[in-house]
Structure 1
Amino acid sequence: MADSSHSSDDTLADSREEISQESKLVFSEDEEALITRMFNLVGERWTLIAGRIPGRTAEEIEKYWTTRYSTSQ
């Protein structure tokens, strides 16, 4: 019985992590403008750009940029 409860907890934790990841990919207008300005200045130096935006990782910035400005269409 404890096993089914444990797997339920794992599923709930996975769901929370997915929601957390999705909300992290939502950027404010200020963040978007800063990313664009920084990209124009330093290019694909995601770590440098992320260092200017508290709470953001280089991976989040790169994912945002590639999904928003991907040229492979």
Structure 2
Amino acid sequence: MADTEQSSNGDHIVASQEVTSERLKHDFSEDEETLIRRMYDLLGKRWHLIAGRIPGRTAEEIEKYWNTIYSTSA
């Protein structure tokens, strides 16, 4: 269940999951995206190893980014 913000009259303003998903797409630089894709091809879902190559990034951030961008569910 996605958290949503509501106005005083009860209307849904923005689903926080959508905001988080959109922010993740823009928070990673093009170089980071390229490196994540290349490392994933080599290492698979070893997020902690991939994160070790990108200063300031955690395994959880990278996994969430990957699942947001490359999710197979439609």
TM-score by structure 1 length?
Answer: 0.66
Deviations 1:9-64 (A, max 9, x none): xxxxxxxxxxxxx6x83100000000000000000000000000000000000000
Whose radius of gyration is greater, 1 or 2?
Answer: 1
Shift >4 Å, 4+ stretches: none
Quote the sequence identity (%): 75
Q: CA RMSD in A?
A: 1.4
Equivalent residue for 1:71?
Answer: 72
Equivalent residue for 1:9?
Answer: none
Equivalent residue for 1:3?
Answer: none
Q: Which amino acid counterpart does residue 40 of structure 2 have in structure 1?
A: F
Equivalent residue for 2:40?
Answer: 39
Secondary structure in 2 matching 1:66 = helix
Q: Which amino acid counterpart does residue 52 of structure 1 have in structure 2?
A: R
TM-score by structure 2 length?
Answer: 0.65
Higher percent of residues as helix? 1
Aligned residues: 51
